[in-house]
Structure 1
Amino acid sequence: MNGYVHPVDQKLPLTQTFLYGLQHVLAMYAGAVAVPLILANALGIDTAHLISLINADLFTCGIATLIQTLLGSKLPIIQGVTFASVTPMIMIGKNGGLTDIYGAVIVSGLVVFCIAPYFSKLIRFFPPVVTGSVITIIGISLLPVAVRWAGGGNPAAENFGDISSLLLALLVLVIIIVIYRCFTGFMRNISVLLGLVAGTVIAALLGQVNFSAVGNAGWIGITTPFFFGFPTFSISAIAAMILVMLVVMTETTGDFIAVGEIVDKKIDRKILTRGLQADGFSTFLGGIFNAFPYTAFAQNIGLISLTNVRSRFVVAASGGLLVAMGLFPKLAALIASIPAPVLGGAGLAMFGMVAANGIRTLGKVNFEGTYNVLIVGVSLAMGLIPMAVPNIYAHLTGALQVIFNSGITVGSLTAILLNAVLNKNNSPVQQ
């Protein structure tokens, strides 16, 4: 059709683009800064340097998101630090410090960039039965994050799960549902943003919001390359990080396909290659700018599904906001003041929508005369094991622990392998 522009490529009015982009940032902020917080705590990094790590992370998150949306896959995918890299980075940091971490990040990013054209051949192993299973696993695997937020954020805290936190999370969820049900168009599309704002205001009136970090944060925070020293290159550290990135590439493939399903855009090998190369290049930049490995942030897939705002330029605006937050710490501190239960209420809606989209995709699958019920059942079971019992693979080491501790990865691999073995004589259309 002449003049037709796919919703992914549509440019919305500036005000809408900004507000939708801000909504994405608010939804992903807590997850975006979690990795530097965990790493700093494990390596004994002082507060001043932790602030530098967070600024660098946010700045590079923004750059990575701009690269992905404008040059890479050109999909509405926000970028964040992969949690799969946390444990290996802690081990590397304890042995060789931050410079060993950044050396491994730089090399692994280059490796991902180079092998992306070959890795993207995996796209043919993702028929609807695999795609639906993976998207469902992604959604269900994210729900515990929302539950922890709803309880207050830290399960080890004495007041975790107190009534006030749970009621606040429930109230935010109800506000989002009411706005989504009672309004249409723009108001419905910013239901999550309005829920987060309303929840924060209510929490502030109840004295549950601490704005002290805003006053203590600096106005300007410039991210300079190699702030913690020039990278060093340890063979064992590089090997560990490359392994992590191979696992992440599998997860990212599932994320791309999930977004493709939601925005109604077929993900072919070319798009997947560009997307994975964008991840690799952003990870390479992460090592230079004192940050970490970057990948598609699954948390925001649910937001796209909930709002049906599919424009990649909206997510590019999120990238611009993240860059600004990395350069202006006071802005980042303001966003960080949103209480965890408020995020939990929004997360329940967003992450549940991801799982619902997986179920919708499975609705297209032919379960008669095939082994698809078994494929879906076993892959879901394998994917949910580390979520149900997080320490079950504690005795595994090295590569096995990295793979099995990620429910998304092990569930995806199970679906791919079972489909390849059991449905090898069926066409993708049948599957």
Structure 2
Amino acid sequence: MEKSLHPVDQKLPLGQTFLYGLQHVLAMYAGAVAVPLILASALGLDTEHLIYLINADLFTCGIATLIQTLGPCKIGSKLPIIQGVTFAAVTPMIMIGKNGGLTDIYGAVIVSGLVVFLIAPYFSNLIRFFPPVVTGSVITIIGISLLPVAVRWAGGGNPAATDFGNIPSLLLALLVLAIVIVFYRCFTGFWRNISVLLGLVAGTIIAAFLGQTDFSAIGNAALIGITTPFSFGLPTFDASAIAAMILVMLVVMTETTGDFIAVGEIVGKEIDKQTLTRGLRADGFSTFLGGIFNAFPYTAFAQNIGLISLTNVKSRFVVAASGVILIALGLFPKLAALIASIPAPVLGGAGLAMFGMVAANGIKTLSKVDFNGNYNVLIIGVSLAMGLIPMAMPNIYSHLTGTMQVIFDSGITVGSLTAIILNAILNKGIEKEPMQEKIGQTDRI
């Protein structure tokens, strides 16, 4: 009976499930803790509060991942999607925090989560605006937009540092990339599927011998860290802060739709309106929990889509195991410190392979698109161009403010909206004639 299940619903042996899940955690960990690091720095929080924010983020991220993958009470897509804090909310949260403190942030996060949960059934109607030409464009944009993250890791993590891009960092990143490729080429089955994990472990060991790894944080970290609701005080509800966060979450919902479709293409499962509704509800409910547990807005983490493609491990229970590991990392800071000791160049080498695979899947989807008698070439070209502008020149939209800046600063969002709008305008009615002709042929038969 197990063999008849869709690969997404298959359960693997416990040991494999854990290792595959750990691989997902290692791939997304740096991105998961980046937001609390940025927020704490911007608001001038001390180290103790920073550590608490990281623990709360990891703990809630794990719960959100379990909800998304297991789908309890019709909440969650039941897809292999790991949840993480969205970067789109960073700037608004900093602005809100500077004006009203953390309690204003959490009040806005709670309300915006409830709004996302309630409007999910209506927002999911967007799924009909995602034919293959839009889907392929969006997946390609997601992959290419993620590549700068891998490049920053490969250079050392901090572009402002004087040693960013030094030869040892770049060589280490390239070595890890080579190790991943060799493992993937020479191994089969289980060992091929953990090629990224093996690359990360091997790269960290090599970095340790070269003196590029710092394990001191493990000794300094606490043994246990408990996240309690409203640790920074009861949430306060400022109207302007709530409005700003709701607008951000509307943008995030557009990105999440693209992520769901990308995962659906990779695992071979159709993303229908009901699946999208459940997935968006999980985002809303997890964001609501984030406001309660001193965390942040949560969404599908695009970084892990490439890992699914690279390893071909499609089971949602593997990603559920990632959720359990994330909860453990949130409860045991020493474990989190161990994961955090992986050098940025090591992550960069693995990231180049993973994120490149996302873009490759987008190109694969576009290869199935019909380019005769329509405007698909123009749609793809313009949407890719619009999506890559923020990546090529991050400050180009610095004079925009409010909602417009949030939308245009996200290459995934602006590229997706461009593809949807152009397809709706330029290809309107074009695909109806061939379909009617096929129906006529069927009738004649």
For normalisation by structure 2, the TM-score amounts to 0.96
The answer on whether the counterparts of 1:365 and 1:430 sit within 8 Å (CA) in structure 2 is no
Structure 1 residues not aligned, in runs of 5+: none
- Alignment match, 1:68: 68
SS of 2:299's partner is strand
What is residue 164 of structure 1 aligned with on the other side? 168
CA RMSD of the aligned region, Å? 1.2
Query: Which residue in the other structure is 1:402 paired with?
Result: 406
The SS at the match of 2:84 is strand
Aligned-partner Cα distance in 1 for 2:141–2:183 = 28
| Corresponding residue to 1:421 among 421, 425, 432 | 425
Tell me: CA distance 1:428–1:338, structure 2 relative to 1, closer, same or farther (3 Å).
farther
The separation in 2 between residues aligned to 1:89 and 1:413, in whole angstroms, is 24
Q: Which amino acid aligns with 1:155?
A: P
5 Å matches for 1:32-47? 32-47=32-47
Secondary structure at the aligned position of 1:295 is classed as: strand
Question: Structure 1 residues 185 and 123 mapped into 2: Cα distance closer, same or farther (>3 Å)?
Answer: same
Counterpart CA distance in 2 for 1:228 and 1:51 is 13
**Does structure 1 residue 300 correspond to structure 2 residue 312?**
no
Q: How big is each residue's C-alpha offset from its partner over 1:284-342, in whole Å with a ceiling of 9 and x where there is no partner?
A: 00000000000000000000000000000000000000000000000000000000000
- Secondary structure at 2:4's aligned position in 1? coil
1:245-394 equivalence runs, <5 A = 245-394=249-398
Q: CA deviation at 1:427?
A: 3.1
Q: Which amino acid aligns with 2:200?
A: L
Alignment partners' CA distance in 1, 2:150 and 2:200: 13
Q: Does residue 199 in structure 1 map to residue 207 in structure 2?
A: no
Q: Which runs of 4+ in 1 moved over 6 A?
A: 428-431
Instruction: Tell me, in whole angstroms, the C-alpha distance in 1 between the residues paired with 2:218 and 2:275.
Output: 40
Q: Secondary structure at the match of 2:52?
A: helix
Distance 1:275 1:22 in 2: 23
Within the alignment, does 1:120 sit opposite 2:124 as a pair? yes
State the Cα distance separating 1:428 from its structure 2 match: 8.5
Query: Partners in 1 of 2:278 and 2:403 — Cα distance?
Result: 26
Instruction: Report how far residue 369 of structure 1 moved.
Output: 1.1
Picking from 221, 224, 237, the partner of 1:220 is 224
Asked if the contact 1:43–1:94 (Cα under 8 Å) also holds between the matched residues in 2, the reply is yes
Distance 1:145 1:3, change over 3 A: closer
Q: Which has the larger radius of gyration?
A: 2
8 Å CA contact retained: 1:128, 1:428: no
Relative to 1, partners in 2 of residues 1:290 and 1:429: Cα closer, same or farther, differing over 3 Å? farther
**Residue 135 (structure 2) aligns with:** 131
> Which residue in 2 is equivalent to 1:10?
10
Over 3 Å counting, the alpha-carbon distance change for 1:111 and 1:205 in structure 2 is same
Counterpart AA for 1:313: F
Shift of 1:426: 2.7
Q: CA deviation at 1:387?
A: 0.4
Between the aligned partners of 2:408 and 2:236, the Cα distance in structure 1 is: 29
Identity of aligned residues (%): 85
Q: Partners of 2:430 and 2:59 in 1: how far apart?
A: 47
How many residues are matched?
A: 431
In 2: Cα distance, 1:109 partner to 1:116 partner: 11
Q: CA deviation at 1:368?
A: 1.2
Structure 1 residue 429, shift from structure 2 partner: 11
Secondary structure of the 2:101 match is helix
The aligned amino acid for 1:6 is H
The answer for unaligned runs of 5 or more in structure 2 is 436-445
Q: What's 1:78 paired with?
A: 82
